[in-house]
Amino acid sequence: MISLNPKPHIAFRGLPEDIEISRQILSGFRKEFGRPHSNTYVEAKIFQHIDDDAKTDLLIKLCSVRDKYNSEVKKLRTELKNWLNLMQVTNKCLVEFNFAKTKPVITLDDYMKKLKELVSTGGGINCEEYSDILQYEHLKKGIETEVVGVCIYSKLRDQFLRNHSFCLRNLPEGANPERISTWGDNAVIADSWIGIVDKAIDTPIDTVKNGKIISGEFIEGGFTKILKFLKFNPDTEKIRLFSCNKIYAHDFIRNMRKEKTSAA
């Protein structure tokens, strides 16, 4: 897993405008790709129907989707991660990407293009790959965006139960995406799988009842909506956040701007 740039620089436009921009990106994204097959869901259905002779035709189709994911998406992801790990070893600060001297086996453009082809041809992908594409669409517009994963574990045995990935933008300088307390009031979640763009954290509000101001109510933020989607039970479960980044957002945007300046 690739670590995050510890000191990103964000130029905020204003929270309502930032949310609207991400909603426009998500809207275009979903018009282009629709809702892909979830490979995790496909595997669950294969397991459910594996001994049912009446479901043979369905199983053949499901196995085709699964095999395509295993043979193509996982291979792409491994190649990309291996190259990024190499770059991390040869240049720990990753101040510059020198593509001329270290040519990757697979470029980010290759990875995104292949993912898009798989989606458009009915291939199954998961929320992590879907978030990769949405992050890439933000980065191309100069918007620093991270891919964050949330894992749910049982409190009793610390057993992994389920996970999900989403995009997170508008973090303040020095923030750690793996710690919600550092996200700040302007953080925005864009989730291409669920189809939401919203302020990341809950917003406290005061309500008036019988002439008295009552505190303690909230407008749900994007992260609360994600936990509801995952059917998170705080009484028996706990969460952990982790980075799913395959792209150094800050360096990607800086190098993109350099390329545009050089071309001009």
- Residue 144 clears pLDDT 70, i.e. is over it: yes
What value does the mean pLDDT take over residues 230-237? 94
Every domain of the chain and the residues it spans: 31-125, 143-264
Residue 189 above 70 pLDDT?
yes
* pLDDT attached to residue 5: 33
What pLDDT digit, counting tens, does each position of 204-219 carry? Answer: 776 656 666 566 677 8
Low-confidence winner among 66-80, 98-112, 116-130 (lowest mean pLDDT): 98-112
Decide which of 126 and 209 is more confident.
Answer: 126
Query: Helices marked H in 50-181 — which ranges?
Result: 56-68, 74-90, 108-120, 127-140
What is the helix (H) or strand (E) element at residue 228, kind and residue range?
helix 222-229
Nearest to 141 by CA among 9, 249, 248: 249
* Number of Cα atoms under 13 Å in the Cβ half of residue 217: 8
How many other C-beta atoms lie within 10 A of the C-beta of residue 148?
26
Across the range 196-205, mean pLDDT stands at 88
222 has pLDDT over 60: yes
- Predicted confidence at residue 186, as pLDDT, reads 92
Q: 136 is written with which tokens?
A: 């890439």
Distance CA 245, CA 239 (A): 19
Range with the poorest average pLDDT among 9-18, 162-171, 180-189: 9-18
**pLDDT for residue 243 is more than 90:** no
What's the pLDDT score for residue 16? 85
Q: What does the pLDDT look like over 4-60, one tens digit per residue?
A: 333 333 444 578 889 999 999 989 888 877 766 677 777 777 777 788 888 888 888
pLDDT at 2: 30
Q: Which of 228, 205, 209 is nearest to 217 (CA)?
A: 205
What is the percent of the chain with per-residue pLDDT over 70, rounded to a whole number?
64
Q: Which positions ≥6 away from 64 have C-beta within 8 Å?
A: none
Mean pLDDT of 141-164: 91
Average predicted confidence (pLDDT) for the chain:
76
Whether 151 has a pLDDT exceeding 90, the answer reads yes
Mean pLDDT, range 218-247, rounded to an integer: 90
Bridging pattern class, strands 145-154 and 160-169: antiparallel
Report, as an integer, the average pLDDT of 110-117: 76
Half-sphere exposure of 134 (CA within 13 A, CB side): 37
**For 219, which DSSP code?**
E
Q: Which residue has the higher pLDDT, 43 or 97?
A: 43
